A and B are shown apart, each in its own frame.
Chain A
Amino acid sequence: MADWTADEMMTVAAARQLRDGTACFVGIGLPSTAANLARATHAPNLVLIYESGCLGAKPDRLPLSIGDGVLADTADAVVSVPEVFNYWLQPGRIDVGFLGAAQLDRYGNINTTVVGGDYDTPKVRLPGAGGAPEIAASCGEVVVIVRQDLRTFTERVDFVTSVGYGTGPGDRERLGLRGGGPRVVITDLGVLEPDPVTRELTLTHLHPGVTREQARAATGWDLAVAEAPAATAPPTAHELAVLRALEATKSDRRRQ
Chain B
Amino acid sequence: MAKLVSLAEGVAQLVHDGDVVALEGFTHLIPFAAGHEIIRQGRRDLTLVRMTPDVIYDQLIGAGCARRLVFSWGGNPGVGSLHRFRDAVQHAWPRPLELEEHSHAGMANRYVAGASGLPFAVLRGYTGTDLPRHTTNIRPITCPFTGETLTAVPALRPDVTVVHAQRADRNGNVQMWGITGVQKEAVLAAHRSLVTVEEIVDEWEPVPGQVVLPGWAVTAVAEVPGGAHPSYAHGYSVRDNDFYRDWDAVSRHRDTFRAWLDEHVHRAGAAA
Binding site for B on A (CB under 8 A): 28-29, 51-54, 63-69, 71-72, 78, 80-82, 85-86, 89-90, 113, 119, 121-134, 137-138, 159-163, 166, 171, 175-178, 253-254, 256
Question: Judging by beta carbons under 8 Å apart, are B178 and A69 in contact?
Answer: yes
Task: Enumerate B67-106 residues with CB–CB distance to A below 8 Å.
Answer: 71-75, 77-79, 81-82, 85-86, 89-90, 101-105
Residue contact B123 to A90, C-beta cutoff 8 Å? yes
Taking a contact as CB atoms closer than 8 A, the residue among B85, B86, B129 that contacts A133 in the complex is B129
Q: Is A90 touching B185 in the complex (CB atoms < 8 A)?
A: no
How distant is the Cα of A51 from the Cα of B72 in the complex, in angstroms? 13
Interface check B139, CB cutoff 8 A: no
Interface of B is mostly: loop
Establish whether residues A54 and B130, one from each chain, have CB atoms under 8 Å apart when the complex forms: no
Kindly state the separation between the CA atoms of A122 and B234 in the bound complex, as whole angstroms.
38
Q: Mark B231-242, 1 if CB is under 8 A from A, else 0.
A: 010100011011
Interface on chain A toward B: helix, strand, loop, or mixed SS? loop
B32 is an interface residue with CB less than 8 A from chain A: no
Bound Cα distance from A151 to B74, whole angstroms: 21
For B103, give its contact among A29, A134, A256 (CB under 8 Å): A134
A82 with B127, Cβ < 8 A, contacts A68-B239, A128-B72, A176-B148 known: no
Instruction: From known contacts A28-B78, A53-B180, A256-B241, infer whether A130 and B72 are also in contact, taking CB-CB under 8 Å.
Output: yes
- Do A125 and B89 form a contact, CB below 8 Å, given A28-B77, A131-B104? yes
Interface status of B217 (Cβ within 8 A of chain A): no
A69 to B27, CA, bound (A): 9
Binds A, one of B2-10, B107-115, B160-168, B198-206: B107-115
A254, B239: Cα distance in complex, Å = 10
Q: Which residue in B74, B127, B178, B211 is a CB contact (below 8 Å) of A72?
A: B178
Question: B112 to chain A: which residues have CB within 8 Å?
Answer: 82, 86
Cross-chain contact B77 with A72 (CB below 8 angstroms) = no
Is residue B43 within 8 Å, beta carbon to beta carbon, of the partner chain? no
Q: CA of A133 to CA of B72 in the docked complex: distance in angstroms?
A: 11
| Shortest Cβ distance from B246 into A: residue | A253
A160 to B129, CA, bound (A): 5
